[in-house]
Amino acid sequence: MSELSWGNYRQLFQLWEIILSMLDPDLCQEVSPTQTWAHASWALTGILSQPGLVFLALLGLAVWPWVLHQSRWKKPSVILSGCLMVGYLLILSPVFMDVGNRLLVSFVPPDSGEKADAIVVLGRGPLQNPVRAQAAKVLWQKQRAPLLFSSGRIDAPLIAGLVRPAVPAQAVSGEPCSATTEQNAAFTTAILWPQGVRKIILITDPPHMLRSLLTFESFGFKVIPHMIPLAPGTSAITRRFLIFRESLGLVSYGLMGRYFTREVPPTSVIYAHQPRDRPSENIDSRNNPTQS
């Protein structure tokens, strides 16, 4: 085994500095009801991605009145189970995936190739993070933006590690507290806006892009979308339920008014208490000068 050179040690030290600068869970806000729902929806997506479990559950829903001798519930249970089964089979169909994906990406403009102030990478778990990190690294090497910023609880420091050593430590930043798309946008804004970042290249997968684009734009960013296909190891059924989940998320965010123009949030939205190396001032206007 070859010994590590001084350059290797230096790269490891810089990577460790990046991870430590982002990875401090004690500073993050406590889990909110929104985060709880996000975690629950992902758990539900995982369950729905297993047809065997779903079919057994629907069969149980249909037959329980006979088992417990509840005559008045026999017909409603069969009807409800049948409707849910039809809906589930529609989601599983290739037609749903094709139409749903086309609708989600049809309103997303292509990457214009313009330069930006920062490349923002949204985390999506261990399977998707490497392909996103690779795309971000290529964009940075093409000098599309001087800063690479990763966003996502747990994902942010992992993505930072994946882009090293190709991207120097001083060009990598991020926040490890966000657990939802809303928090991705709000926390990123709270950190980058005071630094003078106004135009970003946003990296995420096609089903997630429209909701992310509209949410980031609501905080005042000019967004250049850069869609990255889901990783090759993503199963077809997982892709279908991602499309289903993102369709619901797109509508729910609209109903909650999250696509309307909003104020730039202070860093206090991220942290339970202010880190010593971050400003505590409330940025209440997009016309405020850049802070040091």
What is the average pLDDT across 95-111? 87
Return the percent helix, strand and coil in the chain, to nearest 5.
55, 10, 35
Helix (H, G, I), strand (E, B) or coil at 149: strand
Domain locations along the chain: 34-92, 111-233
Cβ proximity of 223 and 145 under 8 Å: no
pLDDT of residue 36: 66
Give CA–CA dist 288/278, Å, rounded.
Answer: 17
CA distances, 114 to each of 110, 128, 142, 206, 249 (Å): 11, 25, 11, 20, 29
**Structure-block tokens of residue 204:** 């995420």
Class of domain 111-233: alpha beta
pLDDT of residue 10: 53
Cβ proximity of 249 and 100 under 8 Å: no
How confident is residue 31, by pLDDT bands cut at 50, 70 and 90?
low
**Structure-block tokens of residue 271:** 């942290």
Q: What is the CA radius of gyration of the chain?
A: 22
What is the average pLDDT across 206-227? 98
Residue 8 clears pLDDT 60, i.e. is over it:
no
**Sheet of 118-122, strand order:** 172-175, 148-151, 118-122, 199-204, 222-227
Span 140-195, pLDDT tens digits: 999 999 999 999 988 999 999 999 889 999 999 999 989 899 999 999 999 999 99
CA distances, 261 to each of 74, 81, 122, 214 (Å): 50, 42, 21, 10
Of 85, 236, 226, the residue nearest 145 (C-alpha): 226
What is the average pLDDT across 240-268? 92
